[in-house]
Amino acid sequence: MTCCSSLPTLTMEFRYVVHAVARLSYMSVRQEQTLERSTSFANTLRMMACTERKNGMRLLKTKKLTWKVDDHELKIRSLYSIEDRLSRLEEDEKKNAEDIEDLKYFLKNRYPQRVLLALKAWCTV
């Protein structure tokens, strides 16, 4: 009878052992999965940060290139402005030279020599 009475106790103990082993096994698998997930998550975060840095560098390079282009466009515009002013000055110089020649011709042909000499003498007094 002792044999029969101890049988239920052994089966109960066996159940506890099996349950404990199963639980430990489950916890171990769960910890491994958690570790894999956290490692995967950390790797994903690292990759995202790296991608963000690369994108940031690309944006920074793009901004620098944009600033350079804007600067060059500004310089080109100011060069065009300077060229325009120079061409206007050259036109004014030609026009003034023509006006001076016209005045010389007018004075030479219009007034007699003695009036010019009198005017010259009056200016020197």
Give residue 84's pLDDT. 92
For the chain, the structural domain boundaries read 2-124
74 in Cβ contact with 83 (< 8 Å): no
Taking the C-alpha atoms of residue 27 and residue 33, their distance in angstroms, rounded to an integer, is 10
> How do residues 67-125 score in pLDDT, each as one tens digit?
888 888 989 999 999 999 999 999 999 998 888 787 777 777 766 676 767 777 777 65
Give residue 91's pLDDT. 92
Backbone angles phi, psi at 112, to 5 degrees: -70, 165
Give residue 10's pLDDT. 57
> How do residues 1-48 score in pLDDT, each as one tens digit?
444 455 456 566 767 777 777 777 777 777 777 767 777 777 887 888
Taking the C-alpha atoms of residue 22 and residue 18, their distance in angstroms, rounded to an integer, is 6
87 in Cβ contact with 96 (< 8 Å): no
Give residue 70's pLDDT. 87
28: CB partners within 8 A, 6+ apart:
none
Give residue 2's pLDDT. 47
Q: What are the tokens at 56? A: 């940031």
The predicted model gives 37-60 an average pLDDT of: 80
